[in-house]
Amino acid sequence: MRFIHSSDQEEEEEEEEEMEMTAQQLSEYNGTDPSKPIYVAVKGRVFDVTAGKSFYGPGGAYAMFAGKDASRALAKMSKNEEDITSSLDGLTEKEIGVLNDWETKFVAKYPVVATIVS
């Protein structure tokens, strides 16, 4: 049995979050290649949502978010293609609150694997 010191674990988690990827790289994790995980970004943080494959995989209710930053769409509770973007411009205070609630759900449920860079 191996004991993990909390500082080692925290360090490991921090390292994972430091991985960076572009929106173009993110698009490769859209669920169409079964050998790759499925990623969805929220507010620039990339989550591995493979555990929710039935939702985010091909044919799933949220498959349109796979491989993309779904921040605006989540804030607006929209599945419209034009809303599936990282842009938060013009969102209402209520929509920002909705987005923050979604972010909290993602953080609780899925591991963060990267952050989006331009």
pLDDT of 8 > 90? The answer is no
Q: What is the pLDDT of residues 46-83, one digit of tens each?
A: 999 999 999 999 999 999 999 999 999 999 999 999 99
- Residue-range domains of the chain with CATH: 17-116 (3.10.120.10)
Question: Residues 10-30: what's their mean pLDDT?
Answer: 75
Q: What's the pLDDT at 118?
A: 82
Q: What percent of the chain has pLDDT over 90?
A: 84
pLDDT of 15 > 70? The answer is no
φ and ψ at 18, to 5 degrees? Answer: -80, -10
Q: Cβ distance 118 to 97 under 8 Å?
A: no
Q: Cβ distance 69 to 61 under 8 Å?
A: no
pLDDT of 7 > 90? The answer is no
Averaged confidence pLDDT in the chain: 89
